Amino acid sequence: MHRILSASKDTYITNKIINNKFRATDANTGQAGTLDLFKLYAESTSGSDTSPTELSRLLLKFDISEVATMHNNNVINVGDSSFKAYLKLHDIYGGQTTPSNFKLICFPLSQSFDEGIGQDIVEFKDIDATNWITASVSNGTVSEWNTTGARSSGSLGDENIDVIVNGTVQGQGSPIALFGEQTFLAGDEDLYINVTNFVSASAKGLIDNHGFCIAYSGSYEKDQKTYFVKRFASRNTSNTAYHPKLIIKFNDSIIDDHENFEFDYSGSLYLNNFSKGVLTNIVSGSAATELSGADCMILKIQSGSFSKQFNVSQAVRGDSRLTGIYSASFAISSFESELYNHALASGSITFNEIWSNENETVTYLSSSLTINKNNRYALNFRENRLQVSMLNLRTRYKQDEIVKLRVYAQNADRSVVFRKTPFELPSEIFPNMFYRVRDFLSGDVIIPFDTDAGDNSTKLSADSTGMYYDFYMSSLPRGRAYIFDFLIRQNGFDTVIKDAASKFIVE
């Protein structure tokens, strides 16, 4: 699952000196189209100070309640190693001077801020609640930063601080870092900082979410150099694709091997149970006891005199069990005496697949499973010709829709078995298949192929009917057309398919 959340508010605060006369410490830039981060040293004069320092710092907030909802509904698990959260700001280069070789740091805020309505970023004449001195105004009560510029720092739980550096979160034996850093070499890079620790803790309700403060790292704010100006797009810029983003990544893929189980290698089979269209745990016996947890039923694989059974557990996502979904992982050896000759001669064997209670007195599902011999052939590194198409993609979607998109994929070079009767060729299962999203007109990649082993947030799932993935249309700006591409990693090759789907519009 790869989801993009938009900022709910953003601004920047500054103590810039205006015309060598005064500092704009009461200026507000809440509605400006850019987020300007700068440090000026000895560029102005301020009273008797002939070498003053002028600074700006960025403030942003995202609604992390969306992440908490997904966590509470077992859509994601923020404690799982595959859960990642990244803060992304898009660089806006407009021909202005840009600094290089500097480091930015991102802290969680310990108190809330108001965005404000200021727009003046030349003379900084617009005045509103959030500025270099004031954080917010609520019911006539003014809340000031504990240190001007929102830079009083400390640990989680400390009083009178503006930003949180680290802290001991419930369940953590030692303090964890809650800040992130990024070094900019050329100066025109986008900001992309890992904020997983903070977002995870906030989604669990362990840290209040007041947003982030982004600034030049301490040594850069204190040195005798000028860094002017690192400019990012704000949420008020006209190009919505460049708005600030909180990127949520989680590997929610499930690969059911019903269609591609092979002898000698471990595979996983899944069973799901629906009641009135909703995933629900199986109930058994006159007491209607729910089947849940580990080893709650058995799976028997049987053919002729061969029979083996395996424990079945409720499927796990992170440290949570998935309601109504059960799985068993196992391997069947082709060298079993009852199987070897048949498997060698035919290349596959069809088994009875029986899901039941441990006493085998109640059967929950009886089906069949075909297990194939794995591919072995003379040395051949030829890239396969892969054909991919989307089965249920519509031309238009509402931004609040969550859709399950189906994908049909096959190797055009696979063997064809000719049949006299009508026959529907099922989709092949590719365990390492990924999607990405591009803007149809500009070609810009909105969501990239996420093939990193630790993330895999754009990895497709597979069930007994083919490949699929869930997609949040809210991740894409409204009013534009997009297109899905696919990448299949197989036999040492990465094959990108760009003509699998038509364009679609998010309304």
- The end-to-end CA distance of the chain, in Å, is 21
- CA separation for the pair 149, 55 (Å, rounded): 9
Judge residue 293's burial from the number of C-beta atoms within 10 Å of its C-beta, 0-12 exposed, 13-18 middle, 19 or more buried: exposed
Q: Establish how many alpha carbons lie within 13 A of residue 4's alpha carbon, considering only the half-sphere containing its beta carbon.
A: 20
Q: What is the pLDDT of residue 474?
A: 96
pLDDT value, residue 191:
98
Residue 422 has pLDDT above 70, yes or no: no
Span 2-50, pLDDT tens digits = 999 999 999 999 999 999 999 999 999 999 999 999 999 999 988 888 8
Q: Does residue 70 have a pLDDT over 90?
A: yes
140 Cβ contact list (under 8 Å, min separation 6): none
What contacts 61, CB < 8 A, 6 or more positions away?
7, 8, 9, 10, 109, 113, 209, 210, 211, 212
**Preceding amide of 416 cis, omega within 30:** no
> In 3-state terms, what secondary structure has residue 496?
strand
Average pLDDT over residues 409-425: 65
Mean pLDDT for 441-470 is 92
pLDDT at 61 exceeding the cut of 80: yes
pLDDT in the model for residue 382: 59
Question: Does the pLDDT value for residue 261 go beyond 90?
Answer: yes
Q: How many whole angstroms separate alpha carbon 302 and alpha carbon 327?
A: 18
Residue 368: predicted pLDDT:
96
Return the closest-CA partner of residue 296 out of 317, 278, 315, 273.
Answer: 315
Contact status, residue 143 vs residue 150, Cβ threshold 8 Å: no
pLDDT of 301 over the 80 cut: yes
- Residue 114: band (very low, low, confident or very high) from pLDDT cuts 50, 70, 90: very high
Can you give the pLDDT at residue 344? 85
- 96 to each of 35, 37, 187, how far by Cα in Å? 14, 13, 12
- Note the pLDDT of residue 461: 96
Structure tokens at 496: 């990108």
Q: What is the pLDDT of residue 414?
A: 61
Q: How many helices (H) and strands (E) does the chain have?
A: 4, 37
The stretch 248-257 carries a mean pLDDT of 95
Non-local (6+) Cβ contacts of 275 within 8 A are: none
| 483 pLDDT more than 60 | yes
Q: What is the DSSP letter of 380?
A: -
DSSP 262: B
Strand partners, 302: 307, 352
Tell me which of 390 and 376 has the higher pLDDT.
390
Average pLDDT over residues 276-283: 94
Q: Are 1 and 468 in contact (CB under 8 A)?
A: no
Model confidence band, residue 420 (pLDDT cutoffs 50, 70, 90): low
From residue 288, how far is each of 274, 281, 283, 294 by CA, in Å?
Answer: 15, 11, 5, 18
pLDDT at site 400: 95
Q: How much is the pLDDT for 418? A: 54
% of residues, the chain, pLDDT over 70: 96
Q: For 308, what's the count of Cα atoms within 13 Å in the CB-facing half-sphere?
A: 11
Q: Could you tell me what percent of the chain has a pLDDT over 90? A: 82
Looking at residue 16, the DSSP 8-state letter turns out to be P
> What pLDDT is recorded for position 327?
97
**Can you tell me the mean pLDDT for 269-274?**
96
pLDDT recorded at residue 490: 86
Position 379 confidence tier, pLDDT thresholds 50, 70, 90: low
**Average of pLDDT values for 104-129?**
96
Q: Please state the rounded mean pLDDT for residues 406-425.
A: 69
Mean confidence (pLDDT) of the chain: 92
Q: Global pTM?
A: 0.92
What per-residue confidence (pLDDT) applies to 286? 84
> What does the alpha-carbon distance between residue 329 and residue 217 come to, in Å, rounded to a whole number?
49
Taking alpha carbons only, the member of 352, 386, 388 closest to residue 370 is 352
CATH code given to domain 386-506: 2.60.40
SS3 399: coil
- R_g of the chain, CA atoms, integer Å: 28
Question: Taking a C-beta distance cutoff of 8 angstroms, is the pair 492, 384 a contact?
Answer: no
Beta bridge partners of 2: 249
- 310-322 pLDDT, tens digit each: 999 999 987 789 9
Residues 120, 370: Cα–Cα separation, whole Å: 69
* pLDDT for the residue 287: 86
Q: At which residue do the structure tokens 């591409």 appear?
A: 485
* DSSP tag of 312: E
pLDDT at 455: 87
Helix (H) or strand (E) holding 344, with range, is helix 340-346
Half-sphere exposure of 282 (CA within 13 A, CB side): 23
Mean pLDDT of 350-367: 95
| Cα–Cα dist 96/110, whole Å | 33
Tell me the pLDDT tens digit for each residue of 165-207.
999 887 777 889 999 999 999 999 999 999 999 999 999 999 9
Cα dist from 204 to 78, 84, 351, 505, whole Å? 8, 14, 45, 34
- Per-residue pLDDT, averaged over 227-233, amounts to 97
Predicted confidence at residue 462, as pLDDT, reads: 96
> What count of other Cβ atoms lies within 10 Å of the Cβ of residue 250?
25
Query: At residue 384, does pLDDT exceed 80?
Result: no
pLDDT for the residue numbered 501: 86
- Check whether 106 has a pLDDT greater than 80: yes
